[in-house]
């Protein structure tokens, strides 16, 4: 048995100290190729592992980064519709790990490195600085966030991550968002799976968790939570070891439902009821301790909401052609304080119930 160094690497294996994934810069003299010799150990026999060796490892429980939700290694996804708080959810997770918090949403964190890499494709440095400051309600010193690393340039991303993880191991890498780094046709299953294979290889090689932020399809927020709600082909979902669908409560805008719609290592009890969360003004989630059966998240809003004056007025104003912003102003003048996102969801619900094409008009609206 080879001895491991303090960082957990075995120097006798070249593939552990040399990046597998080479840069694909246009300045390279030769096109990128990955030869078999680059990824196989010098001792070819070590490429294969016997069942005996696996059993002798004595693994009786799956190692978890966040017990029992997030595995220690592999590829998982957090998905949901727009403006639901997915990025805030993942930033909060990253902050909790990097600043050595003992738990996340009440679940124990088993961090080994207290290092998180966050790949941001939508927020630049200025926006991220603001968002981190807003979520830092405990007023931690900037030095406490030293192990929360951010990547804003996604060129040659796999190579960059491979190189960084070799020298500075991380507990998890958060990709926000998947569609921005993929850029291909989401409906071509084999292309999606092949693209994700590089990241799965990184996760296995570095014993690290990769979390992909993804989106759900149109109209799925009014169907039952399901792994089939994810945007694109089945190729993305099939590659994930765990899928969490985050959705807004239909009656209380500040509530969210964390739904585990796929969990290869989780009992069924985790995958049939949502975990109700509270999403506050600082973009932070707390666990209410309540669980809601998935079937209760299906279909129309509650009857008491449908009869509220502000709901009826908002729908009526929308049918008259008013923008969301104008509807908010008109409701405020009448003494009703409703957020624009809530009005948007009301209008979408009406569109589905009336079986009209109004929803497509709402989705294409670019006004703010």
- Strands 70-71 and 74-80, by their bridges, are unpaired
Task: Locate 30 and state its tokens.
Answer: 């030769």
Distance of alpha carbon 96 from alpha carbon 354, whole angstroms: 44
State whether the Cα torsion 44-48-52-55 is positive or negative. Answer: positive
Q: Is the dihedral of CA 353, 357, 358, 359 positive or negative?
A: positive
Task: Report how far apart, in Å, the C-alpha atoms of 84 and of each of 45, 165, 314 are.
Answer: 49, 30, 21
pLDDT beneath 70: ranges in the chain: 1-20, 22-46, 299-306, 348-368
DSSP conformation letters of 261-289: EEETTS-GGGGSEEEEEEE-TTS-EEEEE
Q: Report pLDDT digits (tens) over 143-180.
A: 999 999 999 999 999 999 999 999 999 999 999 999 99
Residue-wise DSSP of 305-327: HHT-HHHHHHHHHHHTT--HHHH
Measured between alpha carbons, how far is 85 from 62 in angstroms, rounded to an integer? 28
What would the two tokens of residue 8 be?
Answer: 């957990």
Counts for the chain of helices (H) and strands (E), in that order: 13, 13
Q: What is the DSSP string of 21-69?
A: SPP--TT-SS-----HHHHS-SSGGGGS--HHHHHHT---S--EEEETT
Q: Quick check: 323 and 332 in contact, CB under 8 A? A: no
d(CA 260, CA 272): 8
- Tokens representing 39? 């990824």
pLDDT at position 337 is 85
- Closest alpha carbon to 283 in 130, 126, 176, 148: 130
User: Which has the closest alpha carbon to 199: 154, 233, 167, 244?
Assistant: 154
Q: What is the pTM of this model?
A: 0.74
Q: Which residue has the tokens 């509270």?
A: 278
Cα distance between the two ends of the chain: 62
pLDDT of residue 39: 47
**Strand ranges in the chain using DSSP code E only, listed in sequence order:** 64-67, 70-71, 74-80, 103-104, 107-109, 116-120, 148-151, 172-176, 209-215, 242-248, 255-263, 273-279, 285-293
- Please write the tens of the pLDDT for every residue from 253-276: 899 999 999 999 899 999 999 999
Q: Which pLDDT score, from 0 to 100, does residue 6 have?
A: 47
């Amino acid at each position: 048995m080879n001895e491991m160094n303090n960082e957990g690497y075995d120097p006798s294996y070249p593939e552990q100290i040399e990046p597998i994934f080479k840069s694909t810069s246009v300045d390279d003299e030769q096109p990128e190729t990955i030869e078999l010799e680059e990824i196989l150990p010098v001792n070819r026999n070590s490429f294969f592992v016997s069942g005996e060796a696996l059993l002798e490892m004595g693994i009786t429980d799956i190692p978890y980064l966040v017990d029992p939700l997030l595995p220690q290694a592999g590829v998982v996804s957090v998905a949901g519709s727009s403006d639901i708080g997915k990025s805030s959810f993942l930033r909060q997770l990253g902050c909790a790990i990097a600043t050595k918090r003992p738990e996340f949403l009440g679940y124990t964190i088993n961090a080994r490195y207290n290092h998180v890499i966050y790949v941001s494709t939508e927020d630049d440095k200025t926006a991220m600085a603001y968002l981190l400051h807003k979520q830092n309600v405990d007023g931690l010193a900037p030095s406490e966030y030293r192990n929360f690393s951010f990547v804003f340039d996604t060129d040659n991303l796999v190579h960059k991550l491979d190189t960084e993880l070799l020298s500075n191991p991380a507990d998890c890498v958060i990709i926000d968002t998947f569609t921005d780094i993929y850029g291909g046709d989401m409906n071509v299953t084999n292309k999606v799976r092949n693209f994700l294979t590089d990241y799965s290889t990184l996760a296995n090689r570095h014993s690290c968790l990769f979390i992909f932020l993804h989106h759900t399809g149109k109209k799925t927020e009014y169907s039952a939570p399901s792994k089939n709600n994810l945007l694109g082909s089945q190729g993305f979902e099939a590659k994930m070891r765990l899928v969490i669908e985050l959705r807004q409560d239909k009656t209380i805008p500040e509530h969210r439902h964390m739904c585990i719609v796929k969990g290869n290592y989780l009992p069924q009890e985790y995958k049939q009821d949502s975990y109700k969360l509270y999403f506050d003004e600082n973009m932070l989630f707390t666990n209410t301790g309540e669980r809601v059966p998935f079937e209760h998240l299906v279909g129309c809003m509650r009857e008491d909401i449908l009869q509220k004056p502000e709901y009826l007025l908002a729908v009526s104003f929308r049918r008259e052609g008013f923008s969301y912003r104008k509807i908010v102003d008109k409701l405020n003048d009448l003494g009703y304080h409703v957020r624009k996102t809530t009005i948007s969801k009301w209008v979408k619900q009406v569109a589905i119930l009336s079986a009209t094409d109004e929803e497509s008009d709402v989705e294409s609206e670019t006004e703010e």
